[in-house]
Amino acid sequence: MKSLKIALSMFKMKKWSGGVVIIALAIILVFSYSLMGTRTQKKQSYDFFRNHPAGDSHLKDNHPAKSPQLELKKATKSSKKPHYINVEGLSDLYAQNNISKDESNALVVWFQMRLLLSRSDALPETNQGIREASIAWKDLLSKIKENKAAQLSNINKTEDKNCPYSVSTIDLTTSSGETILDIPCGLAEDSSISVLGIPDGHSRSFQIQLLGSQLPVESNPPIILQYNVSLPGDNMTEEPFVVQNTWTKEYGWGKEERCPSHRSVNIPKVDGLVLCNEKVVRSTMEENGNASSVGDVSANVSQGIAHERANFPFVEGNAFTATLWVGLEGFHMTVNGRHETSFVYREKLEPWLVSGVKVTGGVDILSALARGLPVPEDNDLVVDVEHLKAPLVTRKRLVMLIGIFSTGNNFERRMALRRSWMQYEAARSGDVAVRFFIGLHKNSQVNLELWKEALVYGDIQLMPFVDYYSLISLKTIAICIMGTKILPAKYIMKTDDDAFVRIDQVLTSLKEKPSNGLLYGRISLDSSPHRDRDSKWYISNEEWPHDAYPPWAHGPGYIISRDIAKFIVRGHQERDLKLFKLEDVAMGIWIEQFKNSGQEVHYMTDDRFYNAGCETDYILAHYQSPRLVLCLWEKLQKEHQPACCE
């Protein structure tokens, strides 16, 4: 009996000690797994590219995630959430490459965005933006490799064609249908193209076309703008007119915009200019309106057409100078010094895509000049380059991260910001970090210049898609990723590269604001979707079925608190948040969901965030050219007052 008790007690002891061993092993495994997870999260894109070759199963588009937790959530909620899909070209953007660790600093957010780009509910232009980006990326990698090989071999490699300020042709002898100007690096705001020509009478019409950038796999380039001129006919009843339109391979010709349009009221404006020459339209309509009988109307119609013929700027045998210039909202044509037409930019057909000018039809071109083209600075000649580089970030948590939306060929705008408000002490000391978020360009030279700029200044984050306007919400998420995972910050601000931000006043104002659940900027509390299909901000019922939007802050500049940014990043990782193409409204929608999750939201509006222009008490001024940005900074330094320059 005694031996039985001893045996029983030994058995219990073994059972107890075995349990301790099992528990200890479990703790060790959990601790080791957490360390592995932590190290994985902190990997740079350099490590990712080095350790995951193109054929790795982790990189296959149809199996982008390997986390057990993620797979479990997909299995339990697949019916409620978008799934992951295979996207053409995405693997190429994440394949192994020859990028060094230092160079990969421009790609740290890029690495974090793969799953976001693989969602089945992606924004409509995502597939095209990724497919075109993959081609542009491979071309850029090839150029980088060539440059490195040339440096190692001490070969003086001939530089690729650069981005000049102007290009011109004189005494042209081109036949109809030829490209008369090559635009190496696209157009930017205030760029202009002037054409001197004479309608030859062989045809009653001629066309001036702005051609878009063309990738090697594309058979025909898009037409960013066609300016189709129909000359007056011999018959007095045939009126002259201009038709403006666009063309893409996907959709063919767009909606024609004819001028004169004979609209009597509500003539829309572009950059403050009417779509058609007011003098021609108004005179004709007034004459028709004063008619008292059918006969008078008929007579006035003929007189009106004759009046239009007299005012029409293009006449057979007469020389003309037509200047097409780039505005903020659209293209504008002046002929012989008089404004004639305006044309709103259409989606995916923006001026930065222009690669050439082509003329067809009955016109003899004498000369052509494009000026005000985007030009990168020669970094070897920039005397203050060290002072313009992004400071080293040493703080564990920033006070604020400022993410700036920019486009590849906006070289001058970025340099103006580096020389102005990015020089605030808070930005130079490391309390505030400022980064540009830029998608790839379809133009290989622009991408190469952008890459060089990123390496020199260290303040650019490249995005793994072509920089279409409809995809800018992805940049908003990218800024939140950077402000929570890479450069953790208490506040995250979004702004544009044509905005001037008084960082000192932003920080002062934030001291009086809640540090959680904050949306600070110029808040729109009562707005509704644009249902007009021709609107740049058109939203269908499928995209947003409600009659109104939740509160949102105007896009030129707003600030959110860290908890909201974390909610947005996590919500998109878990596919709980909806993607929406209007980025500022999208932020409002996501914050509304943050609020619905039980969190308190503080909508703090401030009218000193000017979304259209500048006022003397500004915290943020928008639509500021590089010249105005530098002028505002100079006034602040000399007068210590926020005075506008125009």
Q: pLDDT (tens digit, 9 = 90+) per residue, 473-510?
A: 999 999 999 999 999 999 999 999 999 999 999 999 99
Encode pLDDT of 526-564 as tens digits: 999 988 877 778 899 999 999 999 999 999 999 999 999
Q: How confident is the model at residue 265 (pLDDT cuts 50, 70, 90)?
A: low
Two tokens, residue 575: 């596919």
**Does residue 82 lie in a domain region?**
yes
Q: Is the pLDDT of residue 122 over 90?
A: yes
Q: DSSP characters for 439-460? A: EE-SSHHHHHHHHHHHHHH--E
Output the domain CATH number for residue 347. 2.60.120.200
Domain boundary among the residues 321, 354, 371 is at 371
Domain annotation covers residue 142: no
Cα 503 to chain centroid distance, Å, stands at 23
Can you list the alpha helix ranges (DSSP code H) found in 97-218?
108-111, 114-117, 126-152
Q: Which amino acid, residue 555?
A: G
User: What is the pLDDT, as a whole number, of residue 238?
Assistant: 72
Selection from 334, 353, 228 nearest residue 271 by Cα: 334
Q: Is the pLDDT of residue 174 over 50?
A: yes
Flag whether pLDDT at 269 surpasses 50.
yes
Q: Average pLDDT, stretch 630-637?
A: 96
- The answer to whether residues 580 and 632 belong to one domain is yes
> Do 343 and 394 fall within a single domain?
no
**pLDDT band for position 289 (cuts 50, 70, 90):** very low
- Residue 171: pLDDT band with limits 50, 70, 90: low
Residue 16's pLDDT is: 41
Please give the helix or strand (H or E) that residue 628 lies within, else none. helix 626-639
142-156, 398-412, 628-642: least confidently modelled range: 142-156
CA–CA distance, 520 with 509 (Å, rounded to integer): 10
Mode of pairing for the β-strands spanning 241-248 and 205-212? unpaired
* Residue 296 confidence (pLDDT) above 90: no
Alpha helices in 265-330 (DSSP H): 278-289, 294-311
Cα 185 to Cα 372: distance, rounded to the nearest angstrom? 11
In this structure, are 344 and 392 located in the same domain?
no
pLDDT of residue 263: 60
- The answer to whether residue 486 sits within a structural domain is yes
Give me the pLDDT at residue 214, please.
81
Name the band, by pLDDT with cuts 50, 70 and 90, for residue 219. confident
Token readout for 340 is: 């004639």
Could you tell me whether strands 432-440 and 398-405 are parallel, antiparallel, or unpaired per DSSP bridges? parallel
| Any domain includes 589 | yes
Task: Please indicate, yes or no, whether residues 367 and 384 belong to a single structural domain of this protein.
Answer: no
Query: Tokens in use for 505?
Result: 């006043």
List Cβ neighbours of 182 (8 Å cut-off, separation of 6 or more): 167, 355, 356
Q: How far is CA 586 from the centre of its chain?
A: 15
- Residue 634 and residue 421 in contact, taking contact as beta carbons nearer than 8 Å: no
pLDDT tens digits, residue range 3-55? 444 444 443 444 444 444 444 545 444 444 444 444 334 344 444 343 433 33
Q: Please identify, among 339, 371, 403, the residue that sits at the C-terminal boundary of a domain.
A: 371
Residue 149 domain-assigned (yes or no): no
pLDDT at 202: 75
Distance CA 81, CA 119 (A): 10
Which range is least confidently modeled, 131-140, 157-166, 349-358? 157-166
pLDDT at 266 over 70: no
Range list of H helices, 458-559:
472-481, 503-510
Query: Is 411 in the same domain as 339?
Result: no
Select the more confidently predicted residue: 219 or 493: 493
**pLDDT tens digit string along 408-434?**
999 999 999 999 999 999 999 999 999
Q: How far is CA 450 from the centre of its chain?
A: 14
Task: Please tell me the least confidently modeled range out of 239-243, 288-292, 477-481, 537-541.
Answer: 288-292
Q: How many domains does the chain have?
A: 3
**388 pLDDT more than 90:** yes
392 lies in which domain range?
379-639
Q: Please give the full DSSP string across 166-189, using - where no structure is assigned.
A: -EEEES--PPTT-EEEE-TT---T
Same domain flag for 564 and 590: yes
Give a yes or no: residue 333 inside a domain.
yes
Supply the pLDDT for residue 217. 72
Task: Give me the pLDDT at residue 379, please.
Answer: 78
Task: Tell me the three state secondary structure of residue 164.
Answer: coil
154 band by pLDDT with thresholds 50, 70 and 90: low
> pLDDT tens for residues 92-101?
999 988 888 8
Does 360 lie in the same domain as 270? yes
Q: How far apart are CA 151 and CA 541, in angstroms?
A: 56
Q: What percentage of the chain has pLDDT greater than the value 70? A: 78
Are 422 and 541 part of one and the same domain? yes
For 633-640, the CB contacts below 8 A with 24+ separation are 633/419, 633/420, 633/421, 633/423, 633/500, 636/502
Q: What is the mean pLDDT of the chain?
A: 83
- In 314-402, where does DSSP find H-type helix? 385-388
Q: How confident is the model at residue 161 (pLDDT cuts 50, 70, 90)?
A: low
Residue 299 has pLDDT above 80, yes or no: no
Q: What is the pLDDT of residue 285?
A: 40
Look up residue 458 and give its two tokens.
């260290």
Number of Cα atoms under 13 Å in the Cβ half of residue 461: 29
Q: Identify the sign of the CA torsion 259, 260, 266, 268.
A: positive
Q: What is the mean pLDDT of residues 325-342?
A: 94
Share of the chain above pLDDT 90, in %: 63
Instruction: Name the residue with higher pLDDT: 80 or 399.
Output: 399
In a domain, 627, yes or no: yes
What's the rounded Cα separation, in Å, for the pair 621 and 634? Answer: 15
> In angstroms, what CA-CA distances link 595 with 80, 545, 551?
20, 20, 11
Least confident of 53-57, 206-210, 625-629: 53-57
Q: What is the pLDDT of residue 383?
A: 79
- What are the tens digits of pLDDT across the range 514-523? 999 999 999 9
* pLDDT tens readout for residues 558-597: 999 999 999 999 999 999 999 999 999 999 999 999 999 9
Same-domain pairing of 564 and 629: yes
Per-residue pLDDT at 355: 93
| pLDDT tens, residue by residue, 432-447 | 999 999 999 999 999 9
Q: Choose one of 329, 348, 371: the last residue of a domain.
A: 371
Q: Provide the phi-psi class of 430: left if phi over 0, else alpha when psi is between -120 and 50, else beta.
A: left
Within the chain, what is the greatest distance between any pair of CA atoms?
Answer: 132
Residue 4 lies in a domain: no
The bridge status of strand 460-466 relative to strand 205-212 is unpaired
pLDDT in tens, 448-466: 999 999 999 999 999 999 9
Strand partners, 227: 208, 244
| Claim to verify: residue 182 and residue 130 sit in the same structural domain | no
DSSP 21-62: HHHHHHHHHHHHHHHHHHHHHT--HHHHHHHS-TT-GGG-TT
Q: Assess whether 403 and 530 both reside in one domain.
A: yes
Do 432 and 343 belong to one domain?
no
Q: Is the per-residue pLDDT at 185 higher than 80? A: yes
- At residue 70, the pLDDT reads 32
